[in-house]
Amino acid sequence: MNNNEQLLMKNKIFDELLKTKSAAKTSNDNQIKIRCKFCGDSRNQDHSHMYVGVMNTQQFMIGYHCKKCQSSGVVSKDFLEMYDIKNVELNVFLKKNRISTIIKKNINSNTLVNNYNIPDEILQEDKFKIDYLSSRFNRKITKDDLKQYKIVLNLNQFLKFNNINLYRDTNTNKMELKTLVEEYTKTCVGFLSFDNNIIQFRNINSNVIRYKYSNLQINKDFKNPLLYVVKKNIDLISRKPKIIIAEGIFDIIGVKERFCLDDDVDSVLCSPCGKSFKVALNQIIKMTGFVDSDVFLYVDKDTNRDIDKGFFNNHMSQFIPNFNITIVYNDKGKDFGEMSEEIDIKTYKL
């Protein structure tokens, strides 16, 4: 789909909507206003408060927003039907414009993404890592799981498989980097970030690497934030979009395995890998256009601060007016990252 086709379709959608009662052009070519079908709009039948326009997202999308009742979303077949617009061509376009996965979309958008894949083979030396993961997941981990969750079982194997030369343009001492790569390969399992550019390693049995988690960046030119996104189908014109963010990668996998149905296409699941929830939410909105979603933050119960409402009210303040944000924590344990652990869900709203 090229820009011309998008422009043509945008104009066709506008033309159809402009035929409805009290619809009007605005001073902005990319925006019109119509009467809102959700709240019935003003009593004065000549006024209209529902703005329909091209959204400020990487993916081309036409959104709506009522200034009166705050209803908002992405224009879809259902939306057009509310205005008695039954145009097959527009419906086909709107469906085609819906891209099934974030991953696919990123490749077509401005976000830089590496085209790397997870190797098929499980090496003998990595059997203990499979055992480790199987115990965390509380089930036998398969090759399919490695691909689904973008798990780098063996760093050396991954680098060779994808022809990555880490040593080409690095400021780090080459010997040091080589030692580090060997150590990650021998003792850690990694998870690939959404842009396939940062691997977050979980230390299983290294004494050399002091940290439990450490990150390896592949391409130094990328400026994307560290963000892990669970690979799944997402309906970008969902009427009930959900953004689910958990503190760590094992937590978000735990949330997916426990609570997410296989055919769920309404939710995006991600983790900022211990970093900022705010940055993660911003990046997801940028990629999906989910400006009207319910947001769930699965937080750790490490310290009192972690589940403190004041802290999250402050941290998420820019989103609170427009998003329905729920904090979720496990009252029985620290988090959601251990599938064998019992959980007792507690929630509160911001």
Total residues found in the chain within this entry: 350
Q: What are the tokens at 311?
A: 């802290």
Contact region with Zn ion (CB under 5 A), list: 11-19, 62-70, 192-200, 282-290: 62-70
Give min distance, CB of 297 to Zn ion, in A. 28
Q: Of 23 and 253, which has the nearer Cβ to Zn ion? A: 23
Q: What is the 3-state secondary structure (H, E, C) of 39-74?
A: CCCCCCCCCCCEEEEECCCCCCCEEEEECCCCCEEE
Contact region with Zn ion (CB under 5 A), list: 30-38, 54-62, 107-115, 151-159: 30-38
By CB under 5 A, residue 69 contacts Zn ion: yes
The CA-based angle 170-174-179, given to 5 degrees, is 120
By CB under 5 A, residue 39 contacts Zn ion: yes
By CB under 5 A, residue 143 contacts Zn ion: no
* SS3 state at 36: coil
Number of amino acids touching Zn ion (CB under 5 A) = 6
Contact region with Zn ion (CB under 5 A), list: 3-11, 67-75, 117-125, 209-217: 67-75
> Distance between CA atoms of 325 and 321, rounded to whole angstroms?
10
By CB under 5 A, residue 66 contacts Zn ion: yes
Contact assessment for residue 201 and residue 153, using Cβ atoms and an 8 Å cutoff: no
| The one among 9, 17, 36, 155 contacting Zn ion by CB under 5 A | 36
Give min distance, CB of 65 to Zn ion, in A. 9
Give min distance, CB of 276 to Zn ion, in A. 33
Give min distance, CB of 324 to Zn ion, in A. 17
By CB under 5 A, residue 68 contacts Zn ion: yes
Give min distance, CB of 329 to Zn ion, in A. 35
Beta strands in the chain (DSSP E): 24-25, 31-34, 50-54, 62-66, 72-74, 151-152, 188-192, 198-203, 213-217, 228-229, 242-246, 267-271, 294-298, 324-330, 345-349
Binding site for Zn ion (CB under 5 A): 36, 38-39, 66, 68-69
